[in-house]
Amino acid sequence: MRKIIHCDCDCFYASVELRDDPSLKDHPVAVGGAAERRGVVATCNYEARAFGIHSAMPTASALRRCPNLIVLAPSMEKYREVALQIRAIFSRYTEHIEPLSLDEAYLDVSNCDLFQGSATRIAQAIRQQVRDEVGITISAGVAPNKFLAKVASDWDKPDGLTVITPAQVDEFVLSLPVSKIHGVGKVMAARMAEHAIFSCADLRCRSLEELLTLFGKFGHQLYDYARGIDQRPVKAHRERKSLSVETTFAQDIDGVDAAKNKISALFDELEKRLLRLGDKRFSGIFVKLKSAEFRQTTIDRRHEGDLRAELFELLLEEAWARMASPLRLIGVGVRFASTDEDGAENAVSKEIHEEQLDLFAGFN
């Protein structure tokens, strides 16, 4: 029986900024891009969330909801340093650490002898040490597997600890809404609702064959999750699936030719970042577009040869035909060949990379 802890910092970027500037306490605070440059909110504190502000919301919209919102530019280097401090605390208890992003990670403490091997007491110690040494709070979930540990860490935020013992798994899972399953977003939840699936108890009423028919490969995980089963190990190394560069423009890009003219600069930046990664084998390329009305489309194509800007221009033309609307965002990227199949979690991973900075501040 594994002992898994999922640790998730509370409002990470905002918490670091409030730690460094106590005068911000009790004020609504967001970290993100400037409204005049069509930036978005990366994260915000709970005072800001009370106004309905959330990550990925345009900063201009956030300011309309909360005119007194304090918007701070991100300091990624500082956040990385804090993340390394927290990672060092994790490593006091186990070498089996799987980072999902700067602010969250899985820990397998099954073989840790500290605190008589109690995962609950280890999680308590980690949270206290992060508070004392780093100056921010972190929530944690303790469970026999990754799926349940991640659900548990979000159960009592902020600054919470939720423990699901092996004996509690069945009762806990039966009452769990499907919206709490990682990988089930609004669109998937709506699809499930069409088939009267609202909880894991409802999922249990469906056969594996039915779930595979309705939800494809994800049906395997849904079948297991509804029974509290997750056999995935904590992996110290998560293979990168893709790399992309995207830009939110200060002025909408109108017309396919004007959009194609933006590909060259994006492609140059993509090549620079690929060089930093070293030798990686491609399996595909993609172009992502977002309209001024926030409609979004992505075109993927298999590709294993050399990269050229013209390939992305062709994809953009195809994507433009779907949108036929002024664009606020254009992105280009590659997918890497992999033998690792880790299911929906990798597909929806929140892994933070350098390219996320482009979301905070676009350029012309």
Q: Indicate if 98 belongs to the active site.
A: no
Q: Residue length, the chain?
A: 364
Dist. CA 140–CA 188, nearest whole Å? 26
Count Cβ atoms below 10 Å from residue 132 Cβ, excluding itself.
9
The answer to the question of whether 224 is labelled as a binding residue is: no
Non-local CB neighbours of 294 within 8 Å, separated by 6+ positions: 328
Closest Cα partner for 159 from 78, 45, 62, 82?
45
Dist. CA 28–CA 47, nearest whole Å? 5
Closest Cα partner for 219 from 186, 241, 242, 197?
197
Question: Could you give the 3-state DSSP secondary structure of residue 148?
Answer: helix
Tokens in use for 240? 């990168």
Dist. CA 37–CA 44, nearest whole Å? 18
The answer to the question of whether 132 is labelled as a binding residue is: no
Is residue 59 a contact partner of residue 32, using CB atoms and an 8 Å limit?
Answer: yes
CA 343 to chain CA centroid, Å, is 15
Q: Which of 104, 246, 313, 355 is catalytic?
A: 104
- Locus of tokens 């195809």: 318
Is residue 86 a contact partner of residue 132, using CB atoms and an 8 Å limit?
Answer: no
Dist. CA 301–CA 298, nearest whole Å? 10
Tokens in use for 118? 């109690």
As annotated, the binding site for Mg(2+) includes 8, 103
As annotated, the binding site includes 8, 103
Catalytic residue list: 104
